[in-house]
């Protein structure tokens, strides 16, 4: 080849190049890629070497075969989004066999031709998200043997013909969220042995048929949240051994059958909140890698022994906003890694001693918004690294010294919004608050009763506050309290804390009306309402006694004797 010829070829190539690479108005071009935004119609000149074309926010209403003829053989990626597109004509992609990815998202499309994708045998990814597609046409996918990614979410599909996905034997992601699917056939996912992600959330599914996941041996993520599922069969997940994420929140699950999660060894995420679960028990969770378990907004009324025993890697357990009134002693048995347990907004009135005892990693306990009126001795036994314990908005009238000693190991204790009763029994709390100003916000811990101390900051209460009331009523009060609560150990509180002891001494010095020694010290500081109640009780008993006596007087002598005894028990 001589020189002039070479030059000629070079020049020819250059001119060809400039013609070929003329970038359409309103588009950006880079190498063989074109990005168009805001066009009012399909560009008339598109380079025949184009591999990728991307339209957004364009006023293109219809797409037809002629639009693509110049570049269809080189085309690999075609995307149209945020566009008013209403129609794609038959044959548009027929001469684009090298297409790798195709997407129509956020358009006005309501339907697509049956055979639109028939020649796209190399298609890897098809994204039809967020259109207005109404009917799923099984023939769309019949030749897409290479498809790995299919997104059909956010359309208006109401059903899935059973054979629709069967040709997609290498599919890895099937995204079908946000439609209105009510029912799936047992064989809908048949043969999808490479599927890794299946999203069916935000539909109207009421169940998932038994066996429908049996071919999905590679499944890693299954999203079923935001449906209307009422029950799941115990063997539904028996073949999905590789499942790592399972989302079931916001359904209508009433129970979980025994055995349902026994065979999911690498499951690390599960969501079950916002259901109607009434019970859970051992035999539901098998050994798995779960670190967080969210069960809030269900209807659990109790937590049974060993329910979570297999969840040895669990770090967070959320049981808030249920109706839990009872927690068995070994309810949290086995949770060696548990760092936080959330039990707030339930119906808990008391806890068992030892509930938290086998939880060496426990840091945070939230118990706020319950009805806890007392805490058992040793309820924090074995918890060595306590961070925050939240007892806000419970029914605690006071806290005895032993409990306060246990709480001292926490970094933070939230105690506000309890009906603190500022009588002598509040003294241990008062001194604890003073001793540990960094653990609780003192200004928020205030008396609820008696009335004249309502709203007073407990840590700032003076000894006189305890002297100023209760003493005049002491005689009446004492005689009743002693009998109503015979089991109350009278002297302990006044001896275990120096502050309490001092006050007790001065108080007993201030009121000598009573006759009973130790027992009375405990009882002087109560409010008037109890006396009124007592008077009412006594009056009622007398009236009842009179009535019953009258009735029985007419009966035999044995009856009279019984009544006498009962009468005595009630009043004294």
Ligand X SMILES: *[C@@H]1O[C@H](CO)[C@@H](O)[C@H](O)[C@H]1NC(C)=O
Q: Which stretch binds ligand X (CB under 6 A): 280-288, 485-493, 516-524, 559-567?
A: 280-288
Size of the site for ligand X (CB under 6 A): 24
Contact flag: residue 42 with ligand X (CB under 6 A) = no
Residue closer to ligand X (CB basis): 26 or 490 = 26
Nearer to ligand X, 92 or 310 (CB): 310
Range 156-175, binding ligand X (CB under 6 A): none
Query: Dihedral sign, CA of 184, 186, 189, 194?
Result: positive
Of positions 92, 201, 364, 398, contacts ligand X by CB under 6 A: 364
Residue 81 forms beta bridges with which residues?
56, 105
Site for ligand X contains 217 (CB under 6 A): no
Sketch the per residue contact string, 431 through 450, with ligand X: x for CB under 6 A, - otherwise. Answer: ----------x-xx------
Tell me if residue 174 falls in helix, strand or coil: strand
User: Mask 452-491, x = binds ligand X (CB under 6 A)?
Assistant: ----------------------------------------
Distance between CA 510 and CA 502 in Å, rounded? 12
The DSSP secondary structure of 462-484, one letter per residue, reads -THHHHSSSTTTHHHHHHHHHHH
The CA distance from 520 to 513, in Å, is: 10
| Binding span for ligand X by CB under 6 A among 3-11, 222-230, 284-292, 478-486 | 284-292
Q: Which is nearer to ligand X, 171 or 348 (CB)?
A: 348
Report in angstroms how near the CB of residue 35 gets to ligand X at its nearest.
Answer: 12
- Asked if 489 and 472 touch (Cβ cutoff 8 Å), the reply is no
* Least distance CB 440 / ligand X (angstroms): 9
Phi-psi region of 321 (alpha: psi -120 to 50; beta: other; left: phi over 0): left
Q: Does 384 bind ligand X (CB under 6 A)?
A: no
Choosing from 209, 257, 287, 378, the residue that interacts with ligand X (CB under 6 A) is 287
564 binds ligand X (CB under 6 A): no
Task: Give the CB-nearest residue to ligand X.
Answer: 339
Work out how close the CB of 236 gets to ligand X at its nearest, in angstroms, rounded to a whole number. Answer: 16
Q: Give CA 66 to chain center in angstroms.
A: 53
User: Are the beta carbons of 141 and 165 closer than 8 angstroms?
Assistant: yes
Q: Does 390 bind ligand X (CB under 6 A)?
A: no
| Cβ closest to ligand X, residue 299 vs residue 309 | 309
Task: Determine, following the binding rule CB under 6 A, whether residue 257 of this chain makes contact with ligand X.
Answer: no
Least distance in angstroms from the C-beta of 442 to ligand X: 8
- Applying CB under 6 A, does 369 fall inside the site for ligand X? yes
Please report whether residue 282 would count as binding ligand X according to CB under 6 A.
Answer: yes
Give every CB contact of residue 97 below 8 A, 6+ residues apart in sequence: 73, 119, 120, 121, 122
Which residue in 533, 561, 536, 535 sits closest to 548, CA to CA?
A: 561
Nearest distance from C-beta of residue 312 to ligand X, angstroms: 10
Q: H-helix or E-strand containing 54? A: strand 52-56
Site stretch for ligand X (CB under 6 A), options 15-23, 131-139, 385-393, 561-569: 385-393
The SS3 of residue 542 is helix
Residue from the set 285, 420, 432, 469 that interacts with ligand X by CB under 6 A: 285
Maximum alpha-carbon separation in the chain: 143
The SS3 call for residue 390 is strand
> Rounded to the nearest whole angstrom, what is the least distance from the CB of residue 47 to ligand X in the complex?
24
Our finding on whether 57 is near ligand X (CB under 6 A) is yes
Name every residue whose Cβ is closer than 8 Å to that of residue 205 and which is 6 or more positions away in sequence. Answer: 181, 182, 183, 184, 224, 227, 228, 229
Of 190-198, 233-241, 361-369, 458-466, the window that binds ligand X (rule: CB under 6 A) is 361-369
Q: How many CB atoms lie within 10 A of CB 409?
A: 14
| DSSP assignment string, 255-323 | ---TTTBTT-TT--EEE--SS------TTSB-S----EEE--SS---EE-TTTTTT-TT--EEE--SS-
Q: Do 246 and 264 meet the contact criterion of CB atoms below 8 Å apart?
A: yes
Nearer to ligand X, 38 or 360 (CB): 38
In the complex, least distance from residue 444 CB atom to ligand X, rounded to whole angstroms: 5
What's 431's DSSP letter? H
DSSP labels, 148-165? -EEE--SS------TTTT
Preceding amide of 345 cis, omega within 30: no
Residues 328 to 347: which contact ligand X by CB under 6 A?
339-340, 345
Nearer to ligand X, 95 or 443 (CB): 443
Residues making contact with ligand X (CB under 6 A): 37-38, 57, 262, 282-283, 285-287, 306, 309-310, 339-340, 345, 363-364, 369, 387-388, 393, 441, 443-444
């Amino acid at each position: 080849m001589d020189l002039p010829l070479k030059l000629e070829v070079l020049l020819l190539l250059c001119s060809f190049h400039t013609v070929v690479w003329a970038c359409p108005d309103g588009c950006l071009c880079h190498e063989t890629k074109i990005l168009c935004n805001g066009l009012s119609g399909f560009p008339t000149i598109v380079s025949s070497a184009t591999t990728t074309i991307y339209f957004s926010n364009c006023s293109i209403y219809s797409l037809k075969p002629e639009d693509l003829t110049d570049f269809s053989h080189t085309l690999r990626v075609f995307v149209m989004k945020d566009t008013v597109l209403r129609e794609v004509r038959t044959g548009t992609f027929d001469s684009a066999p090298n297409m790798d990815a195709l997407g129509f998202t956020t358009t006005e499309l309501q339907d697509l031709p049956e055979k639109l994708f028939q020649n796209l045998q190399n298609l890897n990814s098809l994204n039809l998200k967020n259109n207005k597609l109404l009917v799923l046409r099984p023939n769309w996918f019949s030749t897409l043997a290479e498809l790995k990614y299919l997104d059909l979410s956010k359309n208006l599909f109401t059903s899935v013909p059973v054979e629709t996905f069967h040709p997609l034997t290498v599919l890895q992601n099937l995204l079908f969220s946000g439609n209105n699917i009510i029912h799936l056939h047992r064989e809908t996912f048949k043969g999808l042995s490479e599927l890794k992600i299946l999203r069916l959330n935000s539909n109207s599914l009421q169940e998932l048929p038994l066996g429908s996941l049996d071919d999905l041996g590679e499944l890693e993520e299954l999203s079923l949240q935001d449906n209307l599922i009422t029950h799941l069969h115990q063997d539904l997940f028996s073949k999905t051994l590789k499942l790592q994420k399972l989302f079931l929140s916001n359904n209508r699950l009433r129970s979980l059958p025994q055995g349902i999660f026994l065979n999911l060894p690498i499951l690390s995420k599960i969501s079950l909140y916002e259901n109607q679960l009434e019970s859970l028990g051992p035999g539901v969770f098998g050994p798995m890698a779960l670190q967080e378990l969210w069960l809030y907004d269900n209807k659990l009324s109790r937590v049974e022994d060993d329910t979570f025993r297999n969840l040895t890697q669990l770090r967070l357990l959320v049981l808030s906003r249920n109706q839990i009134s009872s927690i068995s002693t070994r309810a949290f048995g086995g949770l060696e890694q548990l760092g936080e347990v959330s039990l707030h907004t339930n119906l808990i009135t008391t806890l068992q001693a030892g509930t938290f005892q086998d939880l060496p990693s426990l840091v945070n306990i939230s118990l706020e918004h319950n009805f806890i009126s007392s805490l058992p001795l040793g309820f924090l036994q074995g918890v060595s690294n306590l961070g925050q314990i939240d007892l806000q908005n419970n029914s605690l009238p006071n806290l005895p010294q032993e409990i306060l000693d246990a709480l001292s190991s926490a970094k933070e204790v939230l105690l506000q919004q309890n009906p603190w009763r500022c009588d002598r029994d509040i003294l241990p709390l008062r001194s604890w608050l003073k001793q540990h100003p960094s653990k609780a916000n003192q200004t928020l811990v205030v008396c609820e009763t008696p009335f004249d101390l309502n709203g007073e900051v407990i840590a700032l209460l003076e000894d006189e506050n305890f002297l100023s009331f209760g003493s005049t009523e002491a005689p009446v009060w004492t005689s009743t309290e002693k009998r109503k609560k015979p089991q109350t150990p009278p002297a302990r509180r006044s001896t275990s804390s120096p502050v309490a002891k001092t006050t007790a001494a001065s108080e007993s010095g201030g009121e000598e009306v009573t006759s009973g020694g130790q027992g009375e010290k405990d009882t002087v500081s109560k409010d008037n309402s109890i006396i009124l109640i007592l008077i009412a009780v006594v009056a009622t008993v007398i009236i009842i006694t009179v009535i019953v006596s009258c009735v029985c007087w007419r009966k035999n002598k044995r009856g009279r004797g019984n009544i006498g005894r009962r009468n005595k028990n009630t009043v004294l």
